[in-house]
Amino acid sequence: MRDEFDAVIVGSGPNGLTAAAVLARAGRRVLVLEAAGTIGGGTRTDEALGTGIRRDVCSAVHPTGFASPAFAELELADHGLRWLVPDVSLGHVGAGEVVAIHRENADTAIELGSDAHRWESIVGYADDPHALAAQVLEMPDLPRHPVAMSRFAAAAVLPVDTLTRAFGGHRAAMAFAGIAAHAERPLSAPGSSAAGMLLGGLTVSGWPIAEGGSRAITDALAAIVVDHGGTIEMDCPVTELGQLPTDCDLFFDTSPEMILRLFGDRLPRRYARALRRFEYGGGACKVDFVLSEPIPWAVRPDVLARTATFHLADDVAQIRRTERDVAAGRVPERPWVLGGEPTRIDPTRAPEGTHLAWTYCHVPAGCEVDVSASIIAELERRAPGFSDTVVDSMVTTAADMQRHNANYVGGDINCGTSSLRQLVARPVLSPNPQVTGIPGVYLCSSATAPGGGVHGMSGYRAARAALRSRPGPR
């Protein structure tokens, strides 16, 4: 029966579903196989904390999804996706202070004072940050904005420590370091500024959440697949090549390990060597909270009520220590924390009178340690009485992350470290990094350029490559 399909996609994360949607809209007969009992990969939303409480399992805030050329072309809004875009993109909660990065440059300038001009020149220099971000996500295609792209690239390859020294005060440096450290790289590492440049630029476009939970992105993509005749099957793990048809295109929204395991010696030697060299980053330990009231921030609670994202770090030094410890295989004693309160912006996610917060911090790969006590301590320092608001909580260790999603090797939610080499060659240096060298076989996960984030571009690029290679159905 599976021989009736033109394309089979293994994995239903946002990249796999994007590939399926593009192919189905082009008239291909598409089958998506998902190992788990629910689709979505990193964009799942569940009710593990209670009926009517919509918890994002992993990805929660989507600046790259909002800027994604693939999602724009697929018109996900027509299939039920609604972006909720707060006017404060993020709030960095330091030691007794809050730095708010707004969508409006003028408001951010007030926050940063004398560093406002430097921030604009480093992070916000593009006339159209949304368009520049879209171009970054389309890499390695030839740039449509070559001047802006060259400035972006020149700063992106630098260590965070180099760029933060350009700021005269600590507030701008602290905010930029927190944004850049989403990539989980030591601040001294070349290329560690790339995420700061991309995500920092998108603070002007907005750091939105999906109404009802990140699952809304998955549902919109799946609706396109099904509306155009595609089939999605769950509880269908693929463990050997014999499970798949031999006369159709194959797309793998998986880690490189599956390609190596399934195809072995059939892979071109250079490509196989690149997959074996592929590096993963550290892990993440996530803690979700059900609260009786919003987090009782001690400083500027009115500002923090207007954002879906917060960072907790006293200063750049705390971020630097965390990332240095993780790179050395140590669990940080005082980690810096990433988090958000989605019910501030989207009250549909929980019953009235119930509030949600999610948090995570970086830990060594494969770490089984529950660091919730350290995360709660960081929250208590900035929101005294936070513990009294906690009704329930759920801890997902880095090892749990991999058990939940095999693509998160060691708990690496980006499916591969953003080292300087893997910024350029992910997993290979090629104008079509999704092509494996075996005709009709594509790797379309975040292990390929442009890398991590919910934007669907790896799946989009794989599907477009297949359509160019074979214009009509097989």
pLDDT reading at 474 higher than 60: no
Beta strands in 173-314 (DSSP E): 209-210, 231-233, 249-252, 283-291, 310-312
pLDDT of residue 128: 74
Quick one: average pLDDT of 247-267? 96
- pLDDT tens profile 373-412: 999 999 999 999 999 999 999 999 999 999 989 999 999 9
Which residues are CB-neighbours of 248 under 8 A, at least 6 positions away? 3, 5, 6, 7, 8, 440, 474
Confidence of residue 148 (pLDDT cuts 50, 70, 90): confident
Phi and psi, residue 61, nearest 5°:
-120, 140
On the question of a common fold for 2-60+214-279+416-469 and 83-209+282-404, the answer reads no
Nearest residue to 286 (alpha-carbon basis) of 402, 396, 373: 396
Percent of the chain with pLDDT over 90: 89
pLDDT of residue 334: 98
pLDDT of residue 149: 81
Confidence of residue 127 (pLDDT cuts 50, 70, 90): low
The CATH label, of 3.30.930.10, 3.70.10.10, 3.50.50.60, 3.40.109.10, for the domain at 2-60+214-279+416-469 is 3.50.50.60
pLDDT of residue 152: 87
Domain regions of the chain by residue span: 2-60+214-279+416-469, 83-209+282-404
pLDDT reading at 171 higher than 90: yes
Q: Report yes or no: 218 and 80 within 8 Å, Cβ to Cβ.
A: no
Nearest residue to 310 (alpha-carbon basis) of 373, 360, 376, 258: 360
pLDDT reading at 1 higher than 50: no
Neighbours of 36 (CB within 10 A): 17
- pLDDT tens profile 280-322: 999 999 999 999 999 999 999 999 999 999 999 999 999 999 9
pLDDT of residue 132: 76
Domain 83-209+282-404: give its CATH code: 3.90.660
**Cβ burial, residue 162 (10 Å; 0-12/13-18/19+):** middle
- DSSP letters for 45-77: EE-TTSTT--EESS----HHHHH-HHHHHHTGG
pLDDT of residue 68: 95
- pLDDT tens profile 401-447: 999 899 999 999 999 999 999 998 999 999 999 999 999 999 999 99
Which residues are CB-neighbours of 169 under 8 A, at least 6 positions away? 112, 113, 114, 115
pLDDT reading at 471 higher than 80: no
Phi and psi, residue 259, nearest 5°:
-60, -45
> Residue 253, Cα to own-chain centre: how many angstroms?
15
Tokens (6 digits) for 15? 């990249």
Confidence of residue 106 (pLDDT cuts 50, 70, 90): very high
